[in-house]
Amino acid sequence: MDVLFHNVRELIELAEKENKLISEIMIEQEIQMSGRTREQIFKQMDRNLTVMEEAVERGLKGVQSVTGLTGGDAVLLQNYIAKGNSLSGDLLLDAVSKAVATNEVNAAMGTICATPTAGSAGVVPGTLFAVKNKLNPSREQMIRFLFTSGAFGFVVANNASISGAAGGCQAEVGSAAGMAAAAIVEMAGGTPAQSSEAFAITLKNMLGLVCDPVAGLVEVPCVKRNAMGAANAMVAADMALAGITSRIPCDEVIGAMFRIGQSMHPSLKETARGGLAATPTGKAISKAILDNGKLESIKSLQQ
């Protein structure tokens, strides 16, 4: 079945021509492609939003992964924010904390919503539930945030890649950060074109990011990469709302990401054979995990 848009340029042109939000264009595309009603589609996305909210709340209470490699950092950030002397600003750090919380829940075998993957699942909900406290959106607007994110994720998935194994972490956290930035702009009252600029600014500053999970687990450095993805998205959204544009068009940035992913060495694409996974400490952690699950050895390495 024909889709309403194939790339970001077509998406923005359609939104501007029909004077509609990007989220509305994505909803209409879902209706056309799936044959389901608007109510059915909204109900499913509402469920996704609930899963995200529950993951954030659980992570902010403190969780620990089985390996002990990750957990508790979201709580540390919230405690730091509460002191009132953060350098980066409370809103940005709140987004970072909630992104970390989500990925810590993922590492602890909890339920999350892949956006667009499990390894990059923290960025979209992290930023959404942070800006919620500032913009006070309705439930519908929060659901639309996810549709806007999905519109850009749809383009990336069909024109490049959202897989770390295929394109490195730029394809996962990079895409997630761009999706979040675009959605933040719409929720803040920006134009469809500004959402496009926010996505482009975000992704082009994450180009070349490799996928190098220590011991092959979605923990190190994945959790902290979601943190930086959330921060990147927040700043890029502000830049776009300020009127700053990307000199390289959004679709060309996505194309560049795809080509960079193709040229990456296999050791840097989720194989745990390069990058941080190949450092002395990375190798030691991997050996401790694989050597009969000696978790105490991991804890000693962290001290």
302 pLDDT higher than 50: no
Q: What's the pLDDT score for residue 147? A: 98
Lowest mean pLDDT among 1-5, 144-148, 174-178: 1-5
Q: What's the pLDDT score for residue 201? A: 98
Q: What's the pLDDT score for residue 1? A: 62
Give yes or no for a contact between 214 and 286, defined as CB atoms under 8 angstroms apart: yes
* pLDDT band at residue 290 under the 50/70/90 scheme: confident
Mean pLDDT of 14-39: 97
Q: Tokens in use for 156?
A: 């990336």
Q: What's the pLDDT score for residue 128? A: 99
108 pLDDT higher than 80: yes
Q: What are phi and psi of 217, to 5 degrees?
A: -100, 150
Q: Is the dihedral of CA 6, 9, 13, 19 positive or negative?
A: positive
Interatomic CA distance for residues 18 and 198, integer angstroms:
21
Q: What's the pLDDT score for residue 130? A: 98
Interatomic CA distance for residues 223 and 220, integer angstroms:
6
Distance of CA 299 to the CA centre of its chain: 28
* 217 contacts: CB under 8 Å, gap ≥ 6: 67, 69, 107, 289
295 pLDDT higher than 70: no
State yes or no: cis peptide before 137, omega within 30 of 0: no
State yes or no: cis peptide before 116, omega within 30 of 0: yes
Name residue, tokens 């401790």: 288
Q: What is the mean pLDDT of the chain?
A: 96
Which tens digit of pLDDT belongs to each residue from 184-198? Answer: 999 999 999 999 999
Q: Is 238 helix (H, G, I), strand (E, B) or coil?
A: helix
Enumerate domains of the chain plus CATH numbers.
8-302 (1.10.4100)
Q: What's the pLDDT score for residue 303? A: 47
* pLDDT band at residue 5 under the 50/70/90 scheme: very high
Give yes or no for a contact between 221 and 214, defined as CB atoms under 8 angstroms apart: yes
* pLDDT band at residue 294 under the 50/70/90 scheme: low
Which tens digit of pLDDT belongs to each residue from 225-284? Answer: 999 999 999 999 999 999 999 999 999 999 999 999 999 999 999 999 999 999 999 999
Query: Exposed, middle or buried: residue 27 (CB in 10 Å: 0-12, 13-18, 19+)?
Result: buried
Q: What's the pLDDT score for residue 291? A: 84
298 pLDDT higher than 90: no
Name residue, tokens 């848009």: 5
Q: Is 5 helix (H, G, I), strand (E, B) or coil?
A: coil
Mean pLDDT of 61-85: 97
Residue 98 is which amino acid? K
Q: pTM for the whole thing? A: 0.95
Q: Tokens in use for 71?
A: 């957990």
Give yes or no for a contact between 184 and 131, defined as CB atoms under 8 angstroms apart: yes
Residue 210: CA count within 13 A, CB half-sphere: 18
